[in-house]
Amino acid sequence: MGARCSKLSLCFWPSNTNLNDSSDIENGSRNEDSLPGFSEFSLDQLRVATGAFSSENIVSEHGEKAPNVVYRGKLADDRWIAVKRFNKSAWPDTRQFLEEARAVGQLRNERLANLIGCCCESDERLLVAEFMPNETLSRHLFHWETQPMKWAMRLRVALYLAHALDYCSSKGRALYHDLNAYRVLFDKDGNPRLSCFGLMKNSRDGKSYSTNLAFTPPEYLRTGRVTAESVVYSFGTLLLDLLSGKHIPPSHALDLIRGKNFLMLMDSCLEGHFSNDDGTELVRLASRCLQYEPRERPNAKSLVIALAPLQKETEAPSYVLMGIQHGTSSPKETVPLTPLGEACSRRDLTAIHEILEKVGYKDDEGVANELSFQVWTNQIQETLNSKKRGDISFRSKDLTTAIDCYTQFIEGGTMISPTVLARRSLCYLMSDMPQEALGDAMQAQVIHPDWPTALYLQAAALFSLGMDNDAHESLKDGTSLEAKKHRN
């Protein structure tokens, strides 16, 4: 959510490496001895590292289907880490958890955000990984602020991800659970790495392959099992993300591909920056990955072979292509949430209501109202009366009446007010209608693109829909707009 270019949706490698050197170098396996080893941490160590699991150190959290939270932390030796803390019902078998963690912890590759430890005390189950300071592919692809991801970088992401899957497969860990744009992280050099967390299997909270059935491999829907071919299918959905800059359901994309309309898939921000031949090759590879029959999909090694010749600007460091600061291994300083942002993050609807009522309509200032003077005398007065009745009902929390009156005002079409949309959005939220609330908040952003309130309300609606990652992105976008407004 909140991405630019009219879109309403934590890694290390020498930058001058020739991508066509030996297969060992291509797969990021050089200098593996220099990567951190695997350790078992005490709960006290991780509690200190994360500031007693402070909410300020939360990097991401998932909903009811996969209840876990990822924190950033700093060890006593000044290393930054990512700590994944499962809820108490996950991994009831202590031995199984330790065996899985130790097995994944044996993997060491510079295409992975490697697992460097775990903790298993009492009911606690925690995984510890290298911290990646430059956020996720989802953030850079769907929620960018200064520039869209360049074509050369998108191709590099695809190749490095294929390297990671090929390496894991060669080590007997071909199964990866719910591969998506949140699982691809960027290191201090701007290089993409695959999160090690998806390599863990058989936890009680890992039953759901995907939160969105439209992106789930068809054989998983039939059998409930993840296979190596399922992972390749998910890789195909990531190729669609890279091509389009949007999260497009595979069925829709395949319809466009079959109709030879693949250019309609391409991100409009890339226009003039890629050749049709390259686009065609990537679309062809995506369609092979998305074949309905698993046996018709390529394997991970084939993905590497297909993607290596497509690489562009191979001498350019990733941080240059990404347009990010080079070399920092510490997390970016976070801007504190405003009271409204904090209320939306907690889904405290009463507090949101109090803030919206108190602020009133001052944020509508400067928003153009298109008035039809031909109908001023009757229609505009009736429109204003609808708004007034809506405000009275909103204040008294008569939600049904408020929704009806605000709807009359909006459908009247003679005046435009993002605040009315925001208020109706909250009424929908308080009436347990999060999808409608999200629609109003998005429409308010269209009318007033630089209005943080619209993004905060989108976050509240997304939390209610169980889309926690997207909700956190909206909170970040709203906070960034807030900070920018105060700087100006």
Residue 399 belongs to some domain of the structure: yes
**Within this chain, do residues 460 and 426 fall inside the same structural domain, yes or no?**
yes
**Within this chain, do residues 143 and 185 fall inside the same structural domain, yes or no?**
yes
The helix/strand/coil state of 353 is: helix
Round to whole Å and give the CA distance between 390 and 399. Answer: 9
**Within this chain, do residues 435 and 393 fall inside the same structural domain, yes or no?**
yes
Residue 9 belongs to some domain of the structure: no
| Predicted confidence (pLDDT) at residue 211 exceeds the cutoff of 60 | no
**Within this chain, do residues 155 and 186 fall inside the same structural domain, yes or no?**
yes
Domain-ending residue, one of 265, 294, 322? 322
Answer for the pair 390, 405: CB distance below 8 angstroms, yes or no.
yes
Q: What is the mean pLDDT of residues 372-378?
A: 46
Q: Which neighbouring-strand residues pair with 117? A: 39, 128
| Predicted confidence (pLDDT) at residue 397 exceeds the cutoff of 80 | yes
Residue 405 belongs to some domain of the structure: yes
DSSP H helical ranges for 80-227: 94-105, 137-142, 151-170, 218-223
Residue 324: band (very low, low, confident or very high) from pLDDT cuts 50, 70, 90? confident
Answer for the pair 382, 415: CB distance below 8 angstroms, yes or no.
no
Q: Which residue has the higher pLDDT, 112 or 28?
A: 112
β-pair type (112-113, 192-195): parallel
Round to whole Å and give the CA distance between 482 and 464. Answer: 23
Residue 456 belongs to some domain of the structure: yes
**Within this chain, do residues 439 and 301 fall inside the same structural domain, yes or no?**
no
The helix/strand/coil state of 145 is: coil
Residue 260 neighbours by CB under 8 Å, 6+ apart: none
Counting the structural domains of the chain, the total is 2
Catalytic residue positions?
Answer: 178
The structure's pTM equals 0.68
Q: What is the mean pLDDT of the chain?
A: 83
Q: Most distant CA pair in the chain: distance in Å?
A: 79
Check residue 8 and give its pLDDT.
32
**DSSP secondary-structure letter at 27?**
T
**Within this chain, do residues 366 and 409 fall inside the same structural domain, yes or no?**
yes
Residue 62: band (very low, low, confident or very high) from pLDDT cuts 50, 70, 90? low
Check residue 379 and give its pLDDT.
61
**Within this chain, do residues 346 and 269 fall inside the same structural domain, yes or no?**
no
Answer for the pair 281, 255: CB distance below 8 angstroms, yes or no.
no
pLDDT in tens, 423-475: 999 999 999 999 999 999 999 888 888 889 999 999 999 988 888 778 888 88
Q: What is the mean pLDDT of residues 180-194?
A: 95
Check residue 71 and give its pLDDT.
93
The helix/strand/coil state of 179 is: coil
Check residue 403 and give its pLDDT.
93
How many residues appear in the chain?
A: 488
Answer for the pair 116, 105: CB distance below 8 angstroms, yes or no.
yes
Domain-ending residue, one of 322, 352, 387? 322
**Within this chain, do residues 298 and 414 fall inside the same structural domain, yes or no?**
no
Check residue 487 and give its pLDDT.
59
Check residue 375 and give its pLDDT.
43
**Within this chain, do residues 469 and 439 fall inside the same structural domain, yes or no?**
yes
Q: What is the mean pLDDT of residues 54-66?
A: 70
**Residue 18: Cβ-neighbour burial (10 angstroms; 0-12, 13-18, 19+):** exposed
Domain-ending residue, one of 260, 293, 322? 322
Check residue 373 and give its pLDDT.
42
Q: Which residue has the higher pLDDT, 486 or 201?
A: 201
- Burial string for 164-179 (b: 16+ CB within 10 Å, else e) reads bbbbbbeeebbbbbbb
Q: What is the mean pLDDT of residues 312-320?
A: 94
Round to whole Å and give the CA distance between 304 and 159. Answer: 6
**DSSP secondary-structure letter at 265?**
G
Check residue 23 and give its pLDDT.
40
Round to whole Å and give the CA distance between 357 and 193. Answer: 45
The CATH number of whichever domain residue 413 belongs to comes to 1.25.40.10
| Predicted confidence (pLDDT) at residue 73 exceeds the cutoff of 50 | yes
Round to whole Å and give the CA distance between 476 and 472. Answer: 6
Q: On the CB side of 356, how many CA atoms lie within 13 Å of its CA?
A: 28
Round to whole Å and give the CA distance between 389 and 379. Answer: 15
Residue 238 belongs to some domain of the structure: yes
pLDDT in tens, 336-349: 678 888 888 888 89
- Flag the least confident range among 134-148, 360-374, 473-487: 360-374
Q: What is the mean pLDDT of residues 103-112?
A: 95
Round to whole Å and give the CA distance between 310 and 359. Answer: 53
**Within this chain, do residues 215 and 271 fall inside the same structural domain, yes or no?**
yes
- Flag the least confident range among 29-38, 196-205, 284-293: 29-38
Which of 55-69, 277-291, 373-387, 405-419 is most confident?
277-291
Q: What is the mean pLDDT of residues 134-145?
A: 89
Neighbours of 301 (CB within 10 A): 15
Residue 344 belongs to some domain of the structure: yes
- Burial string for 27-56 (b: 16+ CB within 10 Å, else e) reads bbbbeeeeeeebeebeeebbbebbeebeee
Q: By residue range, what is the domain housing residue 405? A: 339-487
**DSSP secondary-structure letter at 246?**
S
For the chain, percent of residues with pLDDT exceeding 90? 46
**Within this chain, do residues 172 and 311 fall inside the same structural domain, yes or no?**
yes
Q: What is the CA radius of gyration of the chain?
A: 24
H or E element at residue 287: helix 276-289
The helix/strand/coil state of 245 is: coil
The CATH number of whichever domain residue 185 belongs to comes to 1.10.510.10
Check residue 184 and give its pLDDT.
96
Neighbours of 313 (CB within 10 A): 14
Residue 256 belongs to some domain of the structure: yes
Residue 481 belongs to some domain of the structure: yes
**Within this chain, do residues 260 and 167 fall inside the same structural domain, yes or no?**
yes
